[in-house]
């Protein structure tokens, strides 16, 4: 669950500031990506865990309400995961993630591999333990499923995870954390030594794609006024995966994902900001 405070300027260490609004919105990177993909037109199953608490019930209802199958979203004792988010007047954010129930997803439950095997793409992120990410990625590889990983929250990734990833989608800060390169193009080249395809998102500067032996593609962002960038990366990853799964070329897939992210940053909240397939199409037709 996202616990979001809106402020003029985010506080520094030891500083207290007055916020203007507070809201709770169902979220979490896995849930956000699932919602983004479902709203973009995909049939989506969510594998994970929530707590047996009010937040868990709200998260499950939010996913189901957008067409996400939650039969593999198990309930565990304790609290659901939370993200404590501060959003400033420029739309920038800082986030503290408390995994709670997510920390129990350290492997595959019965039936999970069969669900993965029946899918076209597997979207992963790092709000569950590495053991769970590694097990899911390995299942994807065994069954010929495209494995897409957003390495967030930023962390050093073990080889047993990356060896089974087909497409890595970090933002520029996560890319730098992985390979120590500040320049996005150098970071892209370094990451391509570890995974076959990479998209680095660059915020308002667009995105950068590369594949082993292929050309580098630079996709500009759509100029919009951002009010909340919290869901931009998850929206981008979800819509990108759907477009690629439907057979779109990389330029068209990046364009769709960029349009979806541009729409999301103009709205408050995470799951509440994600556009539908029709909204993405209408936006692209208008630019």
Top CATH class of 2-286 equals: alpha beta
Is 132 annotated in some ligand binding site?
A: no
Is 233 annotated in some ligand binding site?
A: yes
Q: Which two tokens stand for residue 86?
A: 């501060």
The closest of 140, 56, 174 to 104, measured between CA atoms, is 56
What is the distance, to the nearest Å, from the Cα of residue 249 to the centroid of all Cα atoms in its chain? 21
Question: In angstroms, rounded to a whole number, what is the distance separating the alpha carbons of residues 41 and 242?
Answer: 8
CA-only gyration radius of the chain, Å:
18
Is 39 annotated in some ligand binding site?
A: no
Kind and range of the H or E element at 63? helix 54-65
Residue 270 has pLDDT above 80, yes or no: no
pLDDT tens-digit profile of 27-77? 888 999 999 999 999 999 999 999 999 999 999 999 999 999 999 999 999
Question: In angstroms, rounded to a whole number, what is the distance separating the alpha carbons of residues 92 and 86?
Answer: 8
Residue 271 has pLDDT above 80, yes or no: no
CB < 8 Å & 24+ apart, contacts of 180-185? 184/208, 185/216
**Mean pLDDT computed over every residue of the chain:** 93
Question: In angstroms, rounded to a whole number, what is the distance separating the alpha carbons of residues 211 and 97?
Answer: 31
pLDDT tens-digit profile of 139-161? 999 999 999 999 998 888 888 78
Higher pLDDT: 108 or 228? It is 108
Q: The tokens 């500083």 sit on which residue? A: 15
pLDDT tens-digit profile of 15-35? 999 999 999 988 888 999 999
Residue 269 has pLDDT above 90, yes or no: no
Is 249 annotated in some ligand binding site?
A: no
User: Residue 160 catalytic?
Assistant: no
Packing angle of the helix pair 232-245, 250-264 (nearest 10 deg): 150
Catalytic entry in 77, 112, 234, 282: 234
Residue 54: the pLDDT is 96
Residue 226: the pLDDT is 87
Query: What's the sign of the alpha-carbon dihedral 172, 190, 138, 251?
Result: positive
């Amino acid at each position: 669950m996202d616990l979001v405070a809106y402020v003029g300027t985010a506080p520094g260490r030891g500083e207290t500031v007055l916020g203007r609004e507070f809201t709770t919105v169902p979220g979490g990177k896995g849930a956000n990506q699932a919602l983004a993909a479902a709203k973009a037109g995909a049939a989506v199953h969510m594998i994970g865990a929530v707590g047996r608490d009010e937040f868990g019930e709200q998260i499950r209802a939010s996913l189901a309400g957008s067409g996400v199958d939650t039969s593999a979203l198990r309930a565990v004792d304790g609290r659901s995961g939370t993200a404590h988010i501060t959003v400033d007047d420029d739309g920038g954010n800082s986030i503290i993630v408390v995994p709670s129930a997510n920390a129990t997803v350290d492997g595959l439950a019965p039936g999970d591999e069969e669900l993965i095997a029946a899918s076209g793409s597997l979207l992963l992120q790092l709000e569950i333990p590495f053991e769970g990410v590694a097990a899911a990625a390995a299942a994807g590889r065994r069954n010929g499923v495209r494995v897409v990983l957003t390495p967030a929250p930023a962390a050093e990734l073990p080889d047993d995870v990356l060896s089974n990833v087909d497409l890595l989608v970090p933002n520029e800060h996560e890319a730098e954390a992985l390979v120590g390169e500040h320049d996005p193009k150098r970071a892209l080249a370094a990451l391509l030594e570890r995974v076959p395809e990479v998209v680095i998102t660059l915020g308002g500067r667009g995105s950068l794609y590369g594949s082993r032996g292929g050309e580098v593609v630079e996709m500009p962002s759509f100029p919009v006024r951002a009010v909340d960038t919290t869901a931009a990366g998850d929206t981008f990853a979800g819509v990108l995966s759907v477009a690629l799964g439907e057979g779109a070329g990389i330029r068209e897939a990046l364009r769709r994902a960029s349009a979806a992210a541009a729409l999301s940053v103009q709205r408050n909240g995470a799951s509440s900001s994600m556009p539908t397939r029709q909204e993405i199409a209408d936006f692209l037709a208008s630019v």
